[in-house]
Structure 1
Amino acid sequence: MSRKRSFFLLLSNQSIASAGDIFYLVSIISVVYERTSSVFLVSLIPFINTFSRFLGGLFAPWILEKGNLRPILAAASTGKGLLLMILPVLLPTGVGSSFLMWALTVVGLIAVLDSWITPARNAFLPRIVPRHSLVRANSLMAMSDQSIQLAGWPVGALFIVLFPPDVVLMGTSLTFMMISFLLLGVRIEDSDASFQTSSASSMIETLQSGWRYVWKHRPLRTMFIVDGITSLTGAIWIAALLYVYVADVLQENEPWWGYINASFFAGLIIGGMLCFRFEIALQAKARYFLIGSSFCVAVFTFWFAFPASSVFALLISLLIGIPTQVQEVTQITLIQAHTEEKQLAKVFSARDVILTSFFGFSSLLVGGLAEIAGVRSVFIIASVLLTISGLIYVRHRNVLLTSAEKEDFST
């Protein structure tokens, strides 16, 4: 019972924090655009967020090794709240350039803290949840994340309409600090300190150890290679590309951009629900779920480039989201199963760096490719890359199975 309570406290903490991230970004974007009327300056906000998260991820292994995971999660949440308090104080000044500078600084620093939170959460989860329940726990986390992403932006926009931005920012700031207390109720059987490595390790050795660990373990190395490939294809869902897709391929107006996004996120939620429902089958046949979901996403992505109608595009978007979430939940669970607990934070930090850097690079690449060859070509190339990722899993399926058996992952 205490394990269930600990998990739901962690889930509540992370869910509220995810909503807070959306609310503060909506507030900042709203203020920056209102005071500058510059789309370019607004676009700097997601760029700074991604770049700072990448930089923070490089140093995350060293930070996570020096402290206990639970206090780090609490400190990061409190730190985000304290940083956000700066902006409501500056809002009354009415100076656009000054607020923009501080806003970008705060966004960057919060992104650094977020780069520590995700690997810490994924590494912390196996210590409060029994191994046989990891699929269910990861599914619930994924469903929570995607549900908040689906509902958070429109709700955040509504808050901006109903309340002044400084009120939203201050409320979000206080929320970040308050939810850190939820972690006090999280109970684990072993002390955090028991998993710390020797403090004699240098920073360089600590930062490299996670990457070396991944490279030495073939199942992890295989999954990380696929992560790099799928991260390159993730940029097909950025707002700018979908906007062009809606206009050129579907020949519809702006609301359809929102419909496509909502359909994709709905698919992610359904995928999480399926993982939750069929957790035993997923644990027993994880390699087949990885292979099948990779090929399904590849086929649906190719199909998305040639929809029979706009309504059909919504259906395909939904179908893409389902196996995408199945693949993500299965992969996170496998990483947790194949990695020693003391190495989990470092391994997930390395994964976060791969996901962030490859996605950032592809976000720039797909825009130029769509302009040169057309938006359909982007989805075709993405489907080819996803097919390659599926073939990689086919090639290394026996490696994944052997490791799963050694870790008692199969039933």
Structure 2
Amino acid sequence: MFQRSFRNLWFSQTCSNTADILYTIALITMMYQMSGSATYTALVPLCRTLSMSVSGMLAPLMVAKYRLTSLLLGSQAVQFGMFCVIALFAWKALAPHNVWVLLVLVVILSFFDGWTTPTRNALVPRLVPDDKLMKANGFLATTDQTVQFGGWAAGGVIAATIGSPLTLGLTAVLYAVALAFTAMVRDPSASGRHAAEAAASLAGEGVIAPERRHRRDSGASSEGAAGGTPSRWETLREGWIALWRFRSLRAITLMDLIDGIGGSVWIGAFLLVFVQEVLHQGEEWWGFINAAYFVGAIGGRLFVVALVEKLERRLTLFMVAGTFGYGLCTLLFGLNAGLVPALLLTVLMGPMFQTRDIARKTMIQRSVSRDMLPKVLSAQATLSYGLFSLSVLAMGVVADTLGIGAMYVTAAICSFLSAGVGLLFRKAF
């Protein structure tokens, strides 16, 4: 159904997602065992997202200088090396007095990881034709959720059985396999185009031929640069200009930012606290609840893939409905104290979130040209990571002061606000 490079990208991301699960479980478990505090445990995702936010700001320069495939390969190579260092440190030297060393290593790793997401998402429309784009997004996401279903269900057991340091070692092996398959991804549209062509793609609605866009815009934005090539500052701000210029991108970004405030409540650190303090269960139920969510997510992805033609004609409707339904499930989850309702709600939450997510991703990928897309995604990721980092810290304070249940109620309110923004801007979509 898809060409070889797309399949290599798919397998690479499958291994990477598995590694990310084990990595998250191992570090969060270690931090919570040493501190017993939700805020302190949240330092791991906080450092991670802050670093990725800074990295995302520099991503446009990297995209302008390197091919997407080379950038993705280099990013994963460094991550593989850092995973090896983290695993060795956790095995030989980790102690309460030197936790800061672990956090520094996480910051370095996450800095390079910040280039992965915008680069990967920008590669997808280059590797598949437009009429298969939504199906490709759904296919990747379905596989992702299938992996995470098994990963979260078994991850806690693996960490408890072999220990967190060895779990990190297993993570390094998975990243090595992902790196090998990333090396086999080929971008068919890569032809040595320089940054000027990407800068020019800001003109119009992102569908005009690059040569025409360059003639219209280069005089205004790049005239001072040698050979018509935009300066580094102009390259950095191109994606931000596109986010502001196109009304649909502004609306989707605003919805993502609002959702991002509430989305931080689902990081492993907070969910572990909820399982232990509200449900009064051990780490195995932490994995079961995550697995229940991914069961629902898989169902949601399969729903999107099966009904892709109908959803194509009603993307806005399903995006708004998914956002509202997700908020309702989150609200009920925060007010709940039973094991069975918690599992059922997380299963229902999956289809809501995935329908919303695929609709937004497809809209963004079709909003601008393929050359501009990496920079737009980088700007959006920078905003999301930055706000998410602050949200992790704020939600940790809410959890420690008002209780973990109140934190999930706050997240539900954010989802309702995001759905309202979608309704307000529905004509722009």
- TM bucket normalised to smaller: 0.7 to 0.9
In 2 relative to 1, CA 102–84 (structure 1 residues): closer, same or farther, beyond 3 Å? farther
Given the alignment of the two structures, is residue 229 of structure 1 paired with residue 228 of structure 2, yes or no? no
Query: Paired residue for 2:294?
Result: 265
Deviations 1:193-248 (A, max 9, x none): 33743683333222211111110000000000000111111123244544565567
Gaps of 5+ in 1: 401-411
Deviation of 1:335 (Å): 0.3
Across the two proteins, how many residue pairs are aligned to each other? 396
Which deviates the most, 294-303 or 277-286? 294-303
Query: Paired residue for 1:140?
Result: 139
Which deviates the most, 315-324 or 83-92? 83-92
Deviations 1:51-102 (A, max 9, x none): 2112211211211221100011111111222233435665776474897555
> Which of 304, 308, 316 is the matching residue for 1:287?
316
Deviations 1:323-372 (A, max 9, x none): 11110111001100112111111111122222222222222223333455
How many Å separate the matches in 2 of 1:320 and 1:136?
21
In 2 relative to 1, CA 368–48 (structure 1 residues): closer, same or farther, beyond 3 Å? closer
Query: Paired residue for 1:314?
Result: 343
Gaps of 5+ in 2: 198-224
Which deviates the most, 224-233 or 178-187? 178-187
Aligned-partner SS, 2:196: coil
User: Would the aligned equivalents of 2:52 and 2:385 in 1 still touch at CA under 8 Å?
Assistant: yes
Query: Paired residue for 2:179?
Result: 180
Deviation of 1:384 (Å): 3.0
> Which of 256, 270, 276 is the matching residue for 2:305?
276
User: Would the aligned equivalents of 1:290 and 1:327 in 2 still touch at CA under 8 Å?
Assistant: yes
Given the alignment of the two structures, is residue 253 of structure 1 paired with residue 281 of structure 2, yes or no? yes
Residue type of the partner of 1:16? Answer: C
Aligned-partner SS, 1:197: helix
RMSD of Structure 2 on Structure 1 (CA): 3.2
- Return the structure number with greater helix share: 1
Query: Paired residue for 2:356?
Result: 327
In 2 relative to 1, CA 329–361 (structure 1 residues): closer, same or farther, beyond 3 Å? same
Q: TM-score, normalised by structure 2?
A: 0.80
How many Å separate the matches in 1 of 2:114 and 2:144?
16
Query: Paired residue for 1:56?
Result: 55
How many Å separate the matches in 1 of 2:145 and 2:296?
9
Give runs of aligned pairs for residues 159-198 of structure 1, distance below 5 A.
Answer: 159-160=158-159, 169=168, 172-173=171-172, 175-194=174-193, 196-197=195-196
Query: Paired residue for 1:7?
Result: 6
Which deviates the most, 156-165 or 200-209? 156-165
How many Å separate the matches in 2 of 1:31 and 1:251?
21
Residue type of the partner of 1:216? Answer: R
Deviation of 1:152 (Å): 2.5
Q: Percent identical across equivalent pairs?
A: 27
Q: TM-score, normalised by structure 1?
A: 0.84
Residue type of the partner of 2:365? Answer: Q
Query: Paired residue for 1:405?
Result: none
In 2 relative to 1, CA 286–171 (structure 1 residues): closer, same or farther, beyond 3 Å? same
